[in-house]
Amino acid sequence: MTEGPTDSRDAVVVGGGVAGLSAAVFTARQGLDTLVVDAGESILRRNAHLENFPGFPLGVNARQLLDLLGEQAETAGADRLDARVTRVAAIEGSGDVDGDDSDGDNSNGDDPNDGARFAVETDGDDRVRTRYVVAATKNEVGYLDGIDGVGILDRGKAYVDVDERGRTGVDGLYAAGRLAEKPHQAAVCAGHGAEVAVTLLEDDDAPFYHDWVAPEGYFTDRGRDLPPGCEEIDAEERREREAASLDATRERFADPHPDPQETHPSLEE
C-alpha cells in the first residue's frame, strides 16, 4: 500500500513478527485504525520448522504461520506497509512530524486535533501520525532514540524497559515480544503481543474486550446483554463460518510454502 505525505492512524505496530501481528489482530478487531509497518525481517523466516506453537501437533512451517497471522490481521481490519521505521518522535501540541513547527501554524497540513501523540517515519518517506505505538522489532531500538522516557536495557542485546503489561515510561508507547525481554519462544511472544494490545485498549477506555463468538442464545436466553465485541450466531451461520475456515485452511496448506529457506545474515554472501 502507499501512504500519503502524512497519514493518521489510531495505532501503529512496528514489526511484522508474531508479537506485532498478534497485537494488530486485537487492536484492529476492536475497531482501532491500525497500521503494521514491517521490514520483513522476522527471525521466524529463518526457522526451518516451528515446534511448540499451539494447534500444530507436528509443527508448522514458520513462514506459513507468519503469512497466516498477517492475513488474520488484515481480515481484522489492519493495513500493512512494507517499510522500515527509521524514527518515532513525540508530538508536542500541534507540532509537525519533524517537531519543528514552533510557530504553531500547523503549516504541514497535519490535523492538530487528531489526538496523535507520535509521528512515525519510514525509509520509504512515509509519515504517520498516531495515538499509539506498539514496538515489536526484536532487539532493534534505534528508531526510539528521539523519545525521552524510553528505558533501554543493554544485556548484550537491547531491550525496552516495560511494566508487567508492556507499557514503557511514555504514555501511548508499548513494547511486545522479544523487545520486551520475553522468552525466545514464538507462542510466548504471540501471547504477549495480544496482552499488550489488550492493555492498550484498556488504557484507551475501550469497552470490555470479548474475543469469541457465542452460539445463539448463550447470553440472551439467560436475560443478559451481549458483552461489547461479542456476537451470537445461529447454527446455520456457525456452519457457514466453519466451512469457510476449513476451505481456507485446506487451500493454505495444500502445497509447501513457496519461499526459500532463509539462514542467518552472517552466512549469506
The pLDDT value recorded for residue 98 is 41
Average pLDDT over residues 188-200: 97
* CB neighbourhood size of 85 (10 A): 26
**pLDDT over 80 (residue 97):** no
List, for residues 98-138, the tens digit of each pLDDT value.
434 433 334 344 555 578 999 999 999 999 999 999 999 98
Are 91 and 116 spatial neighbours (Cβ–Cβ below 8 Å)? yes
pLDDT at 141: 95
pTM: 0.88
As a whole-number percent, the residues of the chain with pLDDT over 70 amount to 90
At residue 3, does pLDDT exceed 60?
Answer: no
**Side chain identity at residue 221, one-letter code:** D
Does residue 7 sit in helix, strand or coil? strand
* CA-closest candidate to residue 115, choices 208, 32, 198, 30: 32
pLDDT reported for residue 94: 39
pLDDT > 90 in the chain, percent = 76
Mean pLDDT for all residues in the chain: 89
Nearest to 183 by CA among 138, 135, 134: 138
Strand partners, 89: 119
Burial of 180 (0-12, 13-18, 19+ CB in 10 A): buried
How confident is the model at residue 83, as a pLDDT?
A: 97
Quick one: pLDDT band at residue 93, thresholds 50, 70, 90? low
Distance from CA of residue 14 to its chain's centroid?
7
Per-residue model confidence (pLDDT) at position 228: 78
Supply the pLDDT for residue 260: 87
Cβ atoms of 252 and 232 within 8 Å: the answer is: no
Domains and CATH numbers, the chain: 7-208 (3.50.50.60), 210-269 (no CATH)
Would you state the cell numbers that stand for residue 65, as one nine-digit string?
Answer: 504461520
Q: Identify the weakest region by mean pLDDT among 81-95, 98-112, 163-177.
A: 98-112
User: What is the predicted pLDDT for the residue at 100?
Assistant: 41
Contact 50, 65 (CB under 8 A): yes
Q: What is the dihedral of CA 77, 82, 83, 88, to 10 degrees?
A: 10
- Under 8 Å between Cβ of 166 and 192: yes
* Residue type (1 letter), 48: A
pLDDT band at 206 (very low <50, low <70, confident <90, very high): confident
pLDDT at 37 > cutoff 90? yes
Round to whole Å and give the CA distance between 58 and 235.
31
Among 86, 60, 65, residue whose Cα is nearest residue 21 = 65
C-alpha cell at 91: 508530538
Helix (DSSP H) and strand (DSSP E) numbers for the chain: 4, 11
Residue 113 confidence (pLDDT): 52
Question: CB burial class (10 A; 0-12, 13-18, 19+) of residue 22?
Answer: buried
Residue 269 has a pLDDT of 63
Distance (Å, whole) CA 236 – CA 103: 60
**Computed from CA positions of residues 176, 127, 76, 42, in that sequence, does the dihedral angle turn out positive or negative?**
negative
Beta strands in 94-237 (DSSP E): 118-122, 127-135, 152-154, 158-160, 173-175, 213-215, 231-233
52 or 208: which leads in pLDDT = 52
